[in-house]
Amino acid sequence: MAKKKNTEQPAAKPAGGLFTYAPAPESPAAAGDIASSYGHFIGGQFVDSSGSEALKTVNPATEEVLAEFAQGTEEDVDRAVAAARKAFGDWSALPGSERAKYLFRIARIIQERGRELAVLESIDNGKPIRETRDFDIPTVAAWFFYYAGWADKLDYAGFGPNPRPLGVAGQVIPWNFPLMMLAWKVAPALATGNTVVLKPAETTPLTALRFAEICRQAGLPKGVVNIVTGDGRTGAALTAHPDVNKVAFTGSTPVGRAIARQLAGSRKKLSLELGGKAANIVFDDAPIDQAVEGIVNGIFFNQGHVCCAGSRLLVQESVQDELLDALKRRMSTLRVGDPLDKNTDIGAINSAAQLARITELTEAGEAEGADRWSPECELPGTGFWFRPTLFTGVSQAHRIAQEEIFGPVLSVLTFRTPAEAVEKANNTPYGLSAGIWTEKGSRILWTAERLKAGVVWANTFNKFDPTSPFGGYKESGYGREGGRHGLEAYLDV
Amino acid sequence: MSDTTFARLDVLKTYKLYVGGKFPRSESGRVYEVTKATSAAGAAGKREWLANVPLGTRKDARDAVLAARKAVKGWAGTTAYNRGQVLYRVAEMLQGRREQFAAEVAVSEGIGPKKAAALVDAAIDRWVWYAGWTDKVAQIAGGANPVAGPYFNLSTPEPTGVVGIVAPQAGYGHSLLGLVSVIAPAIATGNTVVVAAAAAAPLPALSLGEVLATSDVPGGVVNIISGRTADIAPTLASHQDVNALDLTGAIAADGPGAAAALEAAAADTLKRVVRPELDPFAQDWTNAPGTDRLLSFLETKTVWHPMGI
Q: What is the DSSP track for A213-279? A: HHHHHTTPPTTSEEE---SHHHHHHHHH-TT--EEEEES-HHHHHHHHHHHTTS--EEEEE-----E
- Which residues lie below 8 Å from residue A63, measured CB to CB, with a gap of 6+? A382, A383, A384
**pLDDT confidence bin for A359, thresholds 50/70/90:** very high
Q: Compare CB distances from B136 to A97, A101, A149 and report the shortest one's residue.
A: A149
Q: Is residue B2 part of a domain?
A: no
Mean pLDDT of A373-380: 94
Q: Tell me the C-alpha distance between A238 and A242, whole Å.
A: 9
A445 contacts B132? CB cut-off 8 A = no
Please indicate if any CB of chain A lies within 8 Å of the CB of B306.
yes
pLDDT given for residue B299 in this prediction: 98
Contacts of B125 in chain A (CB under 8 A): 97, 101
Is the CB of residue A432 less than 8 Å from the CB of residue A308?
A: yes
Please indicate if any CB of chain A lies within 8 Å of the CB of B157.
no
Contacts of A149 in chain B (CB under 8 A): 84, 131-136
Q: Which residue segment(s) compose the domain that B280 sits in?
A: 31-37+48-306
Characterize B188-212 residue by residue with b for buried, 16 or more Cβ atoms within 10 angstroms of its Cβ, and e for exposed. bbbbbbbbbbbbbbbbbbbbbbbbb
Q: Is A449 a catalytic residue?
A: no
Q: Is residue B20 part of a domain?
A: no
Q: What is the dihedral of CA A201, A204, A207, A211, to 10 degrees?
A: 20
Q: Is the torsion defined by CA of A64, A66, A71, A77 positive or negative?
A: negative
Please indicate if any CB of chain A lies within 8 Å of the CB of B130.
no
According to DSSP, the residues that pair with A42 across neighbouring strands are A45
**DSSP run (H or E) holding B230:** helix B229-238
Q: Compare CB distances from A156 to B80, B291, B306 and report the shortest one's residue.
A: B291
Q: Tell me the C-alpha distance between A20 and A315, whole Å.
A: 32
Residue A232 corresponds to which amino acid?
G
Interface test with A, best of B85, B93, B134, B303 (most A CBs within 10 A): B85
Please indicate if any CB of chain A lies within 8 Å of the CB of B11.
no
Q: Compare CB distances from A446 to B129, B135, B307 and report the shortest one's residue.
A: B307
Full pLDDT tens readout for chain B, 309 residues: 556 789 999 999 999 999 999 999 999 999 999 999 975 444 455 689 999 999 999 999 999 999 999 999 999 999 999 999 999 999 999 999 999 999 999 999 999 999 999 999 999 999 999 999 999 999 999 999 999 999 999 999 999 999 999 999 999 999 999 999 999 999 999 999 999 999 999 999 999 999 999 999 999 999 999 999 999 999 999 999 999 999 999 999 999 999 999 999 999 999 999 999 999 999 999 999 999 999 999 999 999 999 998
B133 contacts A97? CB cut-off 8 A = no
**DSSP run (H or E) holding A437:** strand A433-437
- Which residues lie below 8 Å from residue B255, measured CB to CB, with a gap of 6+? none
User: In terms of pTM, does the model score above 0.90?
Assistant: yes
Residue B288: Cβ-neighbour burial (10 angstroms; 0-12, 13-18, 19+): exposed
CATH (domain of B64) = 3.40.605.10
**pLDDT confidence bin for A5, thresholds 50/70/90:** very low
Instruction: Count how many Cα atoms sit within 13 Å of the Cα of residue A169 in the half-sphere of its side chain.
Output: 32
Mean pLDDT of A85-90: 98
Q: Determine the distance in angstroms separating the CA of B222 from the nearest CA of chain A, rounded to an integer.
A: 22
Catalytic residue among A116, A131, A215, A307: A307
Interface test with B, best of A109, A110, A146 (most B CBs within 10 A): A146
Please identify, in words, the CATH class of the domain defined by A279-465. alpha beta
How far is C-alpha A255 from the geometric centre of its chain's CA atoms? Answer: 16
Which candidate, B124, B105, B115, places its Cα nearest to that of B203? B105
Contacts of A482 in chain B (CB under 8 A): none
Q: Is residue B12 part of a domain?
A: no
Interface test with B, best of A106, A445, A487 (most B CBs within 10 A): A445
Q: Determine the distance in angstroms separating the CA of A146 from the nearest CA of chain B, rounded to an integer.
A: 7
Please indicate if any CB of chain A lies within 8 Å of the CB of B129.
yes
User: How many structural domains is chain B composed of?
Assistant: 1
Q: Is residue B86 part of a domain?
A: yes
DSSP structure class, residue B193: E
Catalytic residue among A116, A121, A202, A273: A273
Q: Determine the distance in angstroms separating the CA of B128 from the nearest CA of chain A, rounded to an integer.
A: 8
According to DSSP, the residues that pair with B163 across neighbouring strands are B193, B244
Nearest CA in chain A to B152: A445
The pairing of beta strand A168-172 with beta strand A195-199: parallel
Q: How many CB pairs under 8 A join A and B?
A: 70
Plot region of A302 (φ>0 → left; ψ -120 to 50 → alpha; else → beta): left
Residue A482 corresponds to which amino acid?
G
A150 contacts B129? CB cut-off 8 A = no
DSSP structure class, residue A487: G
pLDDT given for residue B44 in this prediction: 52
Please identify, in words, the CATH class of the domain defined by A35-274. alpha beta
A149 contacts B133? CB cut-off 8 A = yes
Mean pLDDT of A24-32: 95
Q: Tell me the C-alpha distance between A213 and B129, whole Å.
A: 26
Q: Compare CB distances from A446 to B88, B134, B308 and report the shortest one's residue.
A: B308
Interface test with B, best of A94, A97, A139 (most B CBs within 10 A): A97
Using a CB cutoff of 8 Å and minimum separation of 24, what contacts does A48-56 make? Answer: A49/A73, A49/A76, A50/A75, A50/A76, A50/A79, A51/A75, A51/A76, A55/A202, A55/A229, A55/A230, A55/A231
pLDDT given for residue B177 in this prediction: 98
Mean pLDDT of A316-340: 97
Mean pLDDT of A363-390: 96
Helix (H, G, I), strand (E, B) or coil at A432: coil
Backbone φ, ψ for residue A410 (5° rounding): -110, 130
Q: At what angle do helices A178-191 and A137-150 cross, to 10 degrees?
A: 10
Contacts of B131 in chain A (CB under 8 A): 104, 149
pLDDT given for residue A12 in this prediction: 47
Q: Determine the distance in angstroms separating the CA of A23 from the nearest CA of chain B, rounded to an integer.
A: 33
Q: Compare CB distances from A483 to B128, B139, B309 and report the shortest one's residue.
A: B139
B132 contacts A150? CB cut-off 8 A = yes
Q: Compare CB distances from A152 to B129, B305, B309 and report the shortest one's residue.
A: B129
Q: Is A273 a catalytic residue?
A: yes
Domain ranges of chain A: 35-274, 279-465
Residue A6: pLDDT over 80:
no
A12 or A317: whose pLDDT is higher?
A: A317
Nearest CA in chain A to B309: A443
B140 contacts A158? CB cut-off 8 A = yes
Is the CB of residue B233 less than 8 Å from the CB of residue B168?
A: no
Please indicate if any CB of chain A lies within 8 Å of the CB of B46.
no
Contacts of A438 in chain B (CB under 8 A): none
Q: At what angle do helices A418-426 and A441-450 cross, to 10 degrees?
A: 40
B139 contacts A442? CB cut-off 8 A = no
List the single range of A16-20, A201-205, A285-289 with lowest mean pLDDT: A16-20
Q: Tell me the C-alpha distance between A315 and A392, whole Å.
A: 11
DSSP structure class, residue A417: S
**DSSP run (H or E) holding B153:** strand B151-159
Q: What is the mean pLDDT of chain A?
A: 96
Instruction: Write out pLDDT tens, residues A185-210.
Output: 999 999 999 999 999 999 999 999 99
Backbone φ, ψ for residue B306 (5° rounding): -70, 155
Q: What is the DSSP track for B16-81? A: --BBTTB-PPPTT--EEEEE---SSTT-SSPPPEEEEEE-B-HHHHHHHHHHHHHHHHHHHHS-HH
pLDDT given for residue B1 in this prediction: 55
pLDDT given for residue A18 in this prediction: 60
